[in-house]
Amino acid sequence: MSNATTKIAVHSLADLKNTTDDAVPNYMHSLKFRQIHTTTDVRLALGYTAVAISGALFYFDWKMGWDVTKPYTLPAVVAYFILNSLFSYWLWWVEAGAIYEGEGKTGKIRIATSTKKHIPIYEVDVTFTPAPASSNPPQTIHIRTPFTRWFTSDGYFVAKPFQQWLASEVPIVGAADPSNVVEEIGRGSETDKVLNATGANAMNILEQLKTAGKPSGGSSRRRKA
């Protein structure tokens, strides 16, 4: 897990995405969401079973030689590649970029993230079921925003704007964390400046500057996107 003190290279899309991905479970945990690991565990089980088969074959081949292991080699190879295909299927079609799955008082949520090659925009697919699950159908929304929203120009992740963005865009996160819901009032490129100046946010922003601005005073001034 990375925290606000880890500095990343702002031009590395992988760094931007991974750092942001790591911030999601932290944030959700702070909202008393319980993370559900089932899909990850299934993938790990498939993968490690395949590796175990291959490891066993390697060991017996090494100890006893080809003549002894020959009859077992074909079944082992077939089983390995079946498991390996299932693993890939699970990774690409079932998990499909999911970085968080969890459940809280306000509902269930699954968050999958991606980026397009060389474009520093965080693409997020959120599937959520507001509580109570019995009376609400699951909904899927796609939200996207530039990473500049929560990274300072010198590469520090700032949690507050990220949490505000998530809470404002995803209803069940907003319901769990009303203090982070901010309204977009739509005044073009100056929106953020105006938001920064509103009374409701002032204390938050100040705190934000105190904590995030630690490494250098300049960063806070430049963070206007």
Q: In the complex, which residues of this chain contact another protein (CB under 8 A)?
A: 1-2, 6, 14-15, 18, 25, 37, 40-41, 43-44, 47-48, 50-51, 54-55, 57-58, 61, 65-66, 73-74, 76-77, 80-81, 84, 87
Pick 48 or 141: Cβ nearer another protein: 48
CA angle, 32 as apex, 26 and 37 as ends, to 5°?
A: 65
Pick 94 or 197: Cβ nearer another protein: 94
Helix axes 13-30, 159-169, angle to 10 degrees: 70
Q: How far is the CB of 181 from another protein (least distance, A)?
A: 28
Q: How far is the CB of 44 from another protein (least distance, A)?
A: 6
Give the CA radius of gyration of the chain. Answer: 23
Cis upstream peptide for 132 (omega within 30°): yes
Amino acid at 118: H
Pick 81 or 92: Cβ nearer another protein: 81
Q: How far is the CB of 48 from another protein (least distance, A)?
A: 6
| CB proximity list for 205: less than 8 A, separation 6 or greater | 196
Q: Report residue 161: phi and psi, to 5°.
A: -60, -30
Q: How far is the CB of 211 from another protein (least distance, A)?
A: 19
Pick 54 or 168: Cβ nearer another protein: 54
